[in-house]
Structure 1
Amino acid sequence: MTMVEEQVRAPDGRGRIGRPSAPAGNDAVREEDYDLVGQYLKQISATPLLSAAEEVELARRIEAGVYAAQLLESGDSGRPREELEALVRDGERAKDHMIRANLRLVVSAARKYYRNSGLPFLDVVQEGNLGLIRAVEKFDYTKGFKFSTYAMWWIRQAIERGKAERARTIRLPVHVLETLSKIGKAERKLAVTLGREPTAEELAAEADLPPARVIELRRISRDTVSLDTPVGDEGSASIGDLIEDTETPQATDVVEFQALGEQVRDLVNTLAPREALIVSMRFGLEDGEQHTLQEVAERVGLTKERVRQLEKLALAELRDPARHQPLLEWAG
């Protein structure tokens, strides 16, 4: 673990952020947190923001360090050990710099997710920092993505998962969690390739699991929130007083599909403007509503048949592996 990875877990300077009980209502940073937050913001502002070129350069150094570490581990690289060790150290320095320069991104996300989270503000920041570290480790500069866009998905996901983990009262076995992770990756991949939510049978085939097992695991994986969790403005009622809504999606699922939608819109926007508009309207990417051929035709001033032809051509372009490979990489 690098020095910065230790520091981003410890804005209070004591080795990690404390985990006090969540206050009843926390729409603003608690008064006792002001000093810590101020100190942390001052600390992270010391590192300047990066230009796109600097991001690429740091990412290259990180990649070189990871590769050098792999060669050292193999023990059969044919290169001087001192040279490889120097590359590893340089890669760690680049990783530290990349993390430090983007800590403000986490604070920005934490401010949005802090309200009604049931967590102290600095705990939300800590969860987001873990996502930032993961983003730096996973970032592939050759894909041409802007790092902040890529990292924000990981940051939001980490915050949501942290919130869900705090509320979880039923612990699942490790092997079950690993299988659920496998199913989740298969679901994201199929959502990209199929353009829709996959069925249980399709998920089972992709994850090499029996359909019944997929259905059962998805059912039991729903987060169970403590029945004592207060609800309402005055906190006079608890979740135990309410009937569970089993149809409500998990917060992490919502975040993942929102992020997927952003990536899909970015992909569609690589088309010519007219074709991008047609696809966006037909699939509800513009306003959340799927429009008919007639509605699209009236919008772009073409016949229904011409719109259908352009839609078909645009979808063929989007199916080009060179275009959607970044989405498959993102889906894991």
Structure 2
Amino acid sequence: MATRTTAAKAKAETSQNADAVEETETTTTAAKKPARKPAAKAAPKTKATRSTKATKAADDTDDEELDGEPVIDEADTPDVVADTADVETADEPVVEETKDAEESDDEESTGKDEELPTGALRLTSTDDEDEVPVYSAAITGATADPVKDYLKQIGKVALLNAAEEVELAMRIEAGLFAEEKLSQMAEAEKRSQLGRELAWVAKDGQRAKSHLLGANLRLVVSLAKRYTGRGMQFLDLIQEGNLGLIRAVEKFDYTKGFKFSTYATWWIRQAITRAMADQARTIRIPVHMVEVINKLARVQRQMLQDLGREPTPEELSRELDMTPEKVIEVQKYGREPISLHTPLGEDGDSEFGDLIEDTEAVVPADAVGFTMLQKQLESLLDSLSEREAGVIRMRFGLGDGMPKTLDQIGDTFGVTRERIRQIESKTMAKLRHPSRSQSLRDYLE
């Protein structure tokens, strides 16, 4: 009995050592591979079967003789383990193992996710960046035409369909919500896991906004073409239209079911027309008056086609439901000012201001005649007495250009106004004498 018990213990220890070596080898093999294999599932069964057989053999040796029983040598154990490892790894490609592992991981992660409501936007972190159009200041192959360069640059961005517009709008909405939450959080909360996720969502919303803007820049160009030749450069119209496009992106409501281009058209037109009212004219006109001027111009063009002639203010007043005086006033507001430095002629050597008379300018001939008249009057006054000459100068303002009354002159000379009147009358009679007045008649013709 002691011999049988010793043999049974030896067999059991040999089986346990084989299993331990086998488990070590299997663990090493599994650690080297990044993913699990379906064939690896059969390994535990093999080990369990061998352990069971070893246990049964140990139980049987208690009743049977040791003679004739095979003894497993420990030196043979590595070969058995190696064979087991070969069976486990037989004919299993590494690519298929990785795919199966990823599928099993996806199934496990999908099973753990909670069910979302219908139409909800699932945000997942990924290494793939959104295809946001990138605009650089340096344009490859730039030409002397900035409009051509701009159209070439925006033409590289693909147009969006309705589904892509809705997806971008949902990301923008999520980004705005995340920015609102971040503004209400403290600095410590922003560094938490929730804060980092909100920051990522806000950044994703900005990328979606840039993508939606870049894909609709050609819409602004098509609308800006309709307003050329009205006082603003084409690129300035595009710039103002882009501001309206930004406003449309911020206020677009995808739940209404309309296309983004239909909604953005109104914002782009409003931005362009407001800019034209504020910047296109040298003298600014209020926006409501600009609308009246445009309406008058449309009615005037229509009546010109119908009547074959220019309509009168009375005919326009009946169409516009306003008085003829109001029509004339609006027409004056609609006139464009012209610069005095506008060149004239083919050579452009003269300007428009050269043809306009300066009513305040002094004619050289008149200036010479006025100077000679002053000298002649001084010579005539010198022929009078000092009091008579002083009364005439003060009465007609010959010295300082400010005529004085009889009372003011009387106060100066210390006499009554009646005496000043008598002196004036007597002096004027002397000046009217042909000997003195003949020299002044030539200046009155």
Give TM-score, length-normalised by structure 2: 0.32
Q: Which has the larger radius of gyration?
A: 2
